[in-house]
A = this chain, B = another copy of it.
Amino acid sequence: MRGLHLTADLYQCRCDAHWLTEPQQLGRWSRQAAEAIGLPVERELSCPGAEGGASTALLLPGSHVLLHTWPKERGVMVDVCLSDAQEDLPAKARGLMQALVQRFQPQWTEQRSLDRGGGE
């Protein structure tokens, strides 16, 4: 049990508004982004979020990708938490986070990196 968890909070996103309001589109696109980078998505779940936004969860073996959007504020929260069940863990986590962030074209971001597990 060991993983890399990247978080990003995106502000003043300049993307087309539908990326912030349409759960199914957000889910489909983020799944494709993960698969394009070699991450096998087991399950995808998308639904309306807070304040007219959208939420998407992707589950992978021991891993997840989460997006929540806030269209009025043009904000997005992103989590990419990958376990070492994935090969090339750091490169894939950072590559996927970069792809997800670029989609929304934020004016600025707050990003953090947490090592998960590995404590035994």
Contacts and interface: CB of A to CB of B under 8 A. Distances in A.
A51 B5 CA distance: 19
Contacts of A112: 114
A81 interface: yes
Nearest to A118: B9
A15 interface: no
Tell me the interface secondary structure of chain A in the complex: strand
A68 B77 contact: no
Interface in A62-120: 62-64, 66, 68, 70, 73, 75, 77, 79, 81, 83, 85, 108, 110, 112, 114, 116-117, 119-120
7 contacts: A1-B73, A7-B116, A51-B85, A55-B64, A57-B64, A70-B117, A77-B117
- 4 tightest A-B contacts by CB? A50-B62, A1-B75, A50-B85, A50-B61
Interface of A: 1, 3, 5, 7, 9, 11-12, 42-43, 45, 47-51, 53, 55, 57, 59, 61-64, 66, 68, 70, 73, 75, 77, 79, 81, 83, 85, 108, 110, 112, 114, 116-117, 119-120
